[in-house]
Chain A
Amino acid sequence: MNASVSDYRRQEESITISAVGEQFPDGSHDELLTLNFGPHHPATHGVLRLLVNLQGEVVRSIKPIVGYVHTGIEKTAEDKSYWKVIPVVERMDYLSYYFNAMAFCGAVETLVEVEVPKRAQYLRIIHLELNRIASHLIWLGTSALDLGAVSIFLYCLREREQVLDLFEMSSGQRMHTRYFQVGGVIEDIPKGFEEKVRAFTKIMPGRADEYGAILNANEIVLQRLRGTCPLDAQTLLSLGVSGPLLRAAGNPWDLRKADPYSSYEDFNFKIPVGTVGDNYDRFAVRLAEIYESVKIIDQAIDGLPEGPFITSDRKVALPPRHELATSMEALIHHFKLVTEGFRVPPGEVYYAIESPRGELGCFVRSDGSSKPARVHMRDPSFVNLQALSKMAEGSYIADMIATLAMLDPILGGIDR
């Protein structure tokens, strides 16, 4: 072999078989088979690579290898002014784009000490909860696809199209909408948005009932999910897991209730909590969260206050266009904001919100200029993935697939 081939490549290309140690009466050993669940696999929810050590059909250990969609987003974000970072950062956890933007905007708003008007907070909540529903729908669709229930995938996409229509109505884009800006939202909602949201919230609980009815009556789904791969809350906490996985194990920790941000304390909603912590509880908790999100959206639309949709601090937010014709200061502010961007006083802050997968934290370090010095997202999938090997050890391969589906990893967030 050439000396230029590194040790890593050599190890990658070798095949090792190790003895487990369990000796049979005739002197032979049981062998561990290392199976490579390559980055291209229909069941791995993205480009996740797993090295699975199998003894027969039983999983003995799992080693996840990530980095196949690493995009250097955090490095790119250091190169751009703050409002340009928002579309870049949105593409990390690509199913919950509003949450990425919310975490980043929240962190910058804390640094700049700008206040977000009430209407903007309610609009943010509407979009965040719609995004939560959309994310859970794709999770449900792809998980059911993994378990074999193919038609649920099409049903969920039908509902998700309606949610994406709403996003298109308010911001012009279906995904990665860059709707949240530092200080509020970029635009007010158009006429007709409220009616469409109400129409959607009217039908969504019925549709979620349908999904529950189909899956809960399906013997195969129940057998695959009930009692498989449970993990207790204490181990999950030591692994840093949060979100629906932790709630399924019985710990009702939810940042929307514990440490409310963006006016979540105004709303009346419950936190679904599981009991056993197996795959079925994880599934049931996420399905129940859809109903709670619908409730929040209803309350937010009913109580939507009048007012500005972005802060009136002209140093941070663009002035409304009609002012540019009359006011010189508005023109100067606009020019400064668009060319250089606003400056943020030096400091570091960590801002955490509750994304559909757990605690999504954004760390922003500012050195006083108009570009951030460090942006880091504490992505929940990255931390939750460490729980996979603990969960699936000792179970069958099929249970491991179901667990991976219930874990809801998003590789964009893991790899950033």
Chain B
Amino acid sequence: MAIGPKPAAGDALRVGALPSRELLRGGELLGHTHPASMDETELERYVQERVLTTTLDKAVAWGRSNSFFPLAFGLACCAMEQFHTAGPRMDIARFGFEAFRASPRQADLIILAGRVSIKMAPIIRRLYDQMLEPKWAISMGACCSSMGVFNNYALVPADKFMPIDVHVPGCPPRPEGLMHGILKLRKMVQDNPDAPWRERYGAIGTEECRQDQGVQSSGAGTSGEGPAGA
């Protein structure tokens, strides 16, 4: 299952300890060297940057994962199933996520429920930029994950303009399906370290840029400036 050149015997244990996702991605997409070809000190630093070692990090991650504040954001049919996830049968309040915030400044999880049209995409991007770090995004349904039922001129898959953590398939996904996606995100947050989010998802290049100014300087979590439009 390992990709790239076979690691030397001494490094086998270390490389095995890395999260498998990093191994699969290889780091080449991010421009890093493959861990199997790093030397001792680089590998040490690589591992330390990525593996949770302190109890404090674990506690913070536990706290963050158990108290998502979703943004009350429904676009189309998937929003109806999102209501049902918050409804009495499939109760999202059991997990502590019932506080749907109206303002993006107070939310840390945006659930894109529904189809994203080209008119709406810049607005969603602006909302995502207004959210404070750390923030996560779930793409609910087939329409925003891939193009869904409607593969045509009017829609944009959400991956094109913002980094998505979990894609939940379905048209619309059952409330149980959305719940499974949210719990998967919870597990992800508990397991993964708190790296700058743009690097974590290879999102370099998705900064907001204006036609007349070129790409803005990217730093972790720079929100796009610009006059308030939406």
User: Which positions in A face B, CB cutoff 8 Å?
Assistant: 1-2, 4-5, 12-13, 36, 38-42, 46-47, 49, 67-73, 75-76, 87-88, 91, 94-95, 138, 141, 153-154, 157-158, 160-161, 164, 174-176, 411-412, 415
Chain B residue at smallest Cβ distance from A66: B119
The one of A69, A161, A176 in contact with B172, judged by C-beta atoms closer than 8 angstroms, is: A176
Counting CB contacts under 8 A, is B197 at the interface? no
Counting CB contacts under 8 A, is B84 at the interface? yes
- Residues of the B chain whose Cβ atoms lie less than 8 Å from the Cβ of A138: 80, 83
Q: A13-B229, A94-B77 are in contact. Are A71 and B117 (CB under 8 A)?
A: yes
CA of A40 to CA of B115 in the docked complex: distance in angstroms? 14
Counting CB contacts under 8 A, is B127 at the interface? yes
CA of A73 to CA of B89 in the docked complex: distance in angstroms? 32
Chain B residue at smallest Cβ distance from A91: B77
Counting CB contacts under 8 A, is B114 at the interface? yes
1/0 contact trace for B88-116 toward A, CB 8 Å? 11000000000000101000000000110
B145 to A: closest C-beta gap in Å:
15
CA of A158 to CA of B91 in the docked complex: distance in angstroms? 11
Binding site secondary structure of chain B? loop
Chain A residue at smallest Cβ distance from B74: A46
- Residues of the B chain whose Cβ atoms lie less than 8 Å from the Cβ of A73: 150
A72 close to B155 (CB less than 8 A): yes
A91 close to B80 (CB less than 8 A): no
A157 close to B212 (CB less than 8 A): no
The one of B77, B171, B174 in contact with A412, judged by C-beta atoms closer than 8 angstroms, is: B77
The count of chain B contact residues (Cβ–Cβ below 8 Å) is: 39
Q: A4-B212, A69-B75, A71-B115 are in contact. Are A40 and B127 (CB under 8 A)?
A: yes
- Residues of the B chain whose Cβ atoms lie less than 8 Å from the Cβ of A70: 117, 119, 154
- Residues of the A chain whose Cβ atoms lie less than 8 Å from the Cβ of B127: 40
B178 to A: closest C-beta gap in Å:
12
Q: Which of B73, B119, B151 has most chain A Cβ within 10 Å?
A: B119
CA of A26 to CA of B31 in the docked complex: distance in angstroms? 68
CA of A94 to CA of B88 in the docked complex: distance in angstroms? 21
The one of A4, A72, A157 in contact with B84, judged by C-beta atoms closer than 8 angstroms, is: A157
A158 close to B87 (CB less than 8 A): yes
B212 close to A5 (CB less than 8 A): yes
A176 to B: closest C-beta gap in Å:
7
- Residues of the A chain whose Cβ atoms lie less than 8 Å from the Cβ of B171: 176
Counting CB contacts under 8 A, is B120 at the interface? yes
- Residues of the B chain whose Cβ atoms lie less than 8 Å from the Cβ of A153: 83
Q: Which of A46, A72, A161, A415 has most chain B Cβ within 10 Å?
A: A72
Counting CB contacts under 8 A, is B76 at the interface? yes
Q: A36-B230, A67-B117, A70-B154 are in contact. Are A176 and B77 (CB under 8 A)?
A: yes
User: Which positions in B face A, CB cutoff 8 Å?
Assistant: 72-77, 79-81, 83-84, 87-89, 102, 104, 114-115, 117, 119-120, 123, 127, 143, 149-155, 171-172, 174, 211-212, 227, 229-230
- Residues of the B chain whose Cβ atoms lie less than 8 Å from the Cβ of A38: 123, 230
- Residues of the B chain whose Cβ atoms lie less than 8 Å from the Cβ of A12: 229
The one of B73, B88, B117, B155 in contact with A157, judged by C-beta atoms closer than 8 angstroms, is: B88
A40 close to B77 (CB less than 8 A): no
B150 close to A2 (CB less than 8 A): no
A175 close to B77 (CB less than 8 A): yes
A39 close to B72 (CB less than 8 A): no
Q: A68-B117, A161-B87 are in contact. List 17 more A-B contacts (CB 8 A).
A: A2-B212, A38-B123, A40-B104, A47-B120, A67-B117, A67-B119, A68-B119, A68-B120, A70-B117, A71-B152, A72-B155, A75-B153, A76-B152, A91-B150, A94-B76, A157-B88, A174-B174
- Residues of the B chain whose Cβ atoms lie less than 8 Å from the Cβ of A154: 87-88
- Residues of the B chain whose Cβ atoms lie less than 8 Å from the Cβ of A46: 74-76, 79
The one of A40, A42, A95, A415 in contact with B123, judged by C-beta atoms closer than 8 angstroms, is: A40
- Residues of the B chain whose Cβ atoms lie less than 8 Å from the Cβ of A75: 152-154
A39 close to B230 (CB less than 8 A): yes
- Residues of the B chain whose Cβ atoms lie less than 8 Å from the Cβ of A39: 120, 123, 230
- Residues of the A chain whose Cβ atoms lie less than 8 Å from the Cβ of B102: 41-42
Q: Which 6 residue pairs of A and B lie closest in terms of their CB atoms, listed nearest first?
A: A157-B87, A72-B154, A94-B77, A2-B212, A42-B102, A68-B120
Chain B residue at smallest Cβ distance from A94: B77
CA of A174 to CA of B172 in the docked complex: distance in angstroms? 9
